Amino acid sequence: MQTAFVKKKPRSHYKRWVLGFFCFVILIGLCIPEKLIIPVEKASERDWNHHTFWYYPWGKSGVHKGVDIFAPQGRNVVAATGGWVIWKGTFGRGGRAVIILGPQWHCHYYAHLQDYYTHWGSWVVQGKTIGSVGTSGNAAGKSPHLHYSVSTLIPYPWRWDSSRQGWKKMFYLNPDTLLR
């Protein structure tokens, strides 16, 4: 009796398929347009300082990687864009915070909340109330405000410069220009 050996196909075609699918998903995410709204109900461009993004010195974090939108305690915080809630909880200096993964692989960080009205894994549409303005985290004892920042999962190396923590500019986008 003769044993027949069956030659197995290499699995490299699976790897190529997975890599192709991964690239496709990234490209789709980058193609979704992103038009932001101000994430605090009834707020306008007058409610934040346009020069505080990447301001140094800024407390223990060194530089300020977002904008602080001032509003009365308890005013609704809304999603600046639609997306998935990828994190909700207490985040050190940010206090009560929510992170939403939106179009173009941008993470929208809402911090110093008094309360949050969403949960991890939920889909939110632009304008949906996700929390309320507060003073949690290192905002305790200060005027109520929302710290809002936008970071990207796909680095922009051309943004790196010689400023303090300048390498982090590859990941942080200026919310002031995005909200105008």
130-163 residue pLDDT tens: 999 999 999 999 999 999 999 999 999 999 999 8
Dihedral angle of Cα 52, 53, 58, 63, to the nearest 10 degrees? -160
CA distance 68 to 110: 10
Structural domains of the chain in order of their starting residue, each with its CATH number: 45-179 (2.70.70.10)
Write the CA distances from 53 to 72, 103, 111, 170, integer angstroms: 22, 21, 15, 14
Q: Considering only 6-10, 97-101, 103-107, 108-112, which range has the smallest mean pLDDT? A: 6-10
pLDDT tens-digit map of 23-42: 888 888 888 889 999 999 99
Q: Count how many Cα atoms sit within 13 Å of the Cα of residue 137 in the half-sphere of its side chain.
A: 23
Q: What is the mean pLDDT of the chain?
A: 92
